[in-house]
Amino acid sequence: MRVGTDVERLVRAAQEGDADARERLVAEHLPLLYNVVGWALGGHADVDDVVQESVLRALGGLGRLREPARFRSWLISIAMNQVRRRWRSQRGRTPMDPDSLARVAGAEDDFAELAVLRLELSEQRREVAEATRWLDADERELLALWWLEASGHLTRKELADGLGVSVPHAAVRVQRMKKQLATCRGVARAVAEPRCGALEPVLAGWDGRPSPLWRKRIARHVRGCRSCSARQRELAPPEALLAGLVLVPFPADHTLHVAELAAGAGNGAGLGATA
């Protein structure tokens, strides 16, 4: 039986009130949700809450899903809407620099810290992780979905549904994001020690925190500096760095978590499925 057909049957059974089917839907899609939300939020402490909100909204609105075969795309769309809400609620907060972040046990890890500390990335994977800190919030959101697509965990249609755009529009956005990621990788490498001597005057007054303004200034230097430009030639394409990448760790108590989520939504705790 094809996976899509199996999910469709589970959705229809769950819509008819089958508690076991609801629990199976949660169990089979919780790892996907943890990765979509985990990468999009960069390992933020709110990942668990956003995953739970997404599951409750999905199960609470399951009866209104007219095309059961589109359950995965629909679920990802709900999850990304919850991610956007969380980003909006966090807007205006001052990000911690990596050194301060490392000193705070259990702090709200950003993507770079999560990657370096938990996923044991190779040097270039570390650089990619650091480069994501220079991306804008919407670009990090897209990178999270594209990373899962490139590693075979999402389809392009599911990525587009998660963004709420058409497949052709998603393709354009992915290309733009990858171009920006390449710029950010160059910036991250340029500011790493040892630095180019000509870059030091450019960085005068920089507080060490990534920002669009400093990204623009540093990228301009990289493009015009023969030494810094030469350092970018050996960068591997991001797709080539996926092979050894581990996905976001799944909670050890996931069995209990699944039962609680399914039961909670079934008892009326679910919310509407719209954003």
The predicted-structure confidence for 52-67, as pLDDT tens digits, reads as follows 899 889 988 988 888 8
Q: Which domains does the chain have, with CATH numbers?
A: 1-95+246-275 (1.10.1740.10), 121-244 (no CATH)
Question: Is 41 or 136 the better-scoring residue by pLDDT?
Answer: 136
Query: What span, in angstroms and rounded, lies between the C-alpha atoms of 111 and 137?
Result: 12
Q: Summarize pLDDT for 189-236 with one digit per residue, the tens.
A: 899 888 899 999 999 999 999 999 999 999 999 999 988 888 777 777
How many angstroms separate the Cα of 70 from the Cα of each of 9, 16, 190, 244?
A: 12, 17, 44, 30
Query: What span, in angstroms and rounded, lies between the C-alpha atoms of 142 and 145?
Result: 5
222 neighbors 190 (Cβ within 8 angstroms): yes
Q: Summarize pLDDT for 81-99 with one digit per residue, the tens.
A: 888 887 777 654 433 333 4
Q: What is the pLDDT of residue 144?
A: 81
Q: Is this model's pTM higher than 0.75 or not?
A: no
Residue 245: pLDDT above 60? no
| Amino acid at site 4 | G
pLDDT confidence tier of residue 143, bands split at 50, 70 and 90: confident
Q: What is the pLDDT of residue 251?
A: 59
247 neighbors 35 (Cβ within 8 angstroms): yes
Q: In which region does residue 42 sit, left (phi positive, over 0), alpha (psi from -120 to 50) or beta (all else)?
A: left
